[in-house]
Amino acid sequence: MDSPKKKILIIDDEAHIRRILEMKFQIAGFQVLTAKNGLQGLELIRSQEPDAVISDINMPKMDGRELCQLTNPIKAERPFLTIIITARIQPDENLWIQNMQDTLFMEKPFSPSKVLEQVSEYFMTRESS
């Protein structure tokens, strides 16, 4: 029996980035949801319960940092991976990420393969523990 496909939520206000990641994860066999801002992303996290979230920091309506702060309490009951992707970050700016459960940081430009690798690694670690 096949286990249900893992759900990945991609949140980015740039359509081409959403599309590249969406295709990469679909080809790898994941179910993919997309959102174009943090507010839309938060609604999907609550309603669809994704297994991993890949989010930009700089977005309209709600940025990635605020999204993480609002979803961190959800992770206490239902852990999921969050990967934050951004082009501009100050050295001390990623300190808040260290206080978030199951949250990683990746800098733009990023490799879609590397993002997929991080997500797959997270699932393998969770399933073996």
Summarize pLDDT for 63-97 with one digit per residue, the tens. Answer: 998 999 999 999 999 999 999 988 766 666 677 78
Question: What confidence score (pLDDT) does residue 10 get?
Answer: 98
**Which pLDDT score, from 0 to 100, does residue 89 have?**
67
CA dihedral 31, 129, 72, 9 (to 10 degrees): -10
pLDDT at 111 over 70: yes
pLDDT tens readout for residues 19-63: 999 999 999 999 999 999 999 999 999 999 999 999 998 888 999
Residue 123's identity, in one-letter code, is F
Domains present along the chain, CATH in parentheses: 7-128 (3.40.50.2300)
Give the separation between CA 32 and CA 122, rounded to whole angstroms.
Answer: 17
Helices (H), the chain: 15-27, 38-48, 64-77, 95-98, 112-128
